[in-house]
Amino acid sequence: MATKNLFAKFDKEFDIKGLKEDLKNVGTGEGQYKDVPLGTYEVKIEKMELVESKTGKPMLSCWMKILSGEYQNSILFMNQVINTAFGLHNANEFLRSLEAGIEVEFESFSQYYDLILDIHEAIDGNLEYAVEYGETNKGFKTFKITEVFEVE
């Protein structure tokens, strides 16, 4: 009985009519997201953390929300596995380019986890970025911060 009450709560809490309409659009392809083409976008860092990859390796995960233009509100997902010196170097360079005013050094994965959270806390609501979204000749996505903007 308690479970049924939970779903009755959801019926009241969520816009069922709107959800049904959205569901129709998904079937027609109208509600699907568009792939963001390579280019330069103004973004804010929505989420940034150290996570475990599907293969069990430590990975820097960063979600960048596009702030304007045709792809406004789309998310660019940057994932950098950091179990090699090359991967760590790329992650360090990206973190430094955010200009959070925090020294970026890798000491341990526990320390790096805290560092990434500290950087996100420092920039969240304070800085936005121009990011050049590209691709290597091997098909890997690249993310290069080209400008830093203070949020007014």
pLDDT in tens, 50-60: 999 999 999 99
- ∠ CA 32-36-40, rounded to 5°: 155
What span, in angstroms and rounded, lies between the C-alpha atoms of 11 and 33? 26
Q: Mind listing the pLDDT tens digit for each residue in 59-107?
A: 999 999 999 999 999 999 999 999 999 999 999 999 999 999 999 999 9
Q: What is the pTM assigned to this prediction?
A: 0.78
What is the C-alpha to C-alpha distance for residues 62 and 47, in angstroms, rounded to an integer? 6
- Neighbouring C-beta atoms of residue 89, cutoff 10 Å: 13
The CA distance from 81 to 51, in Å, is 9
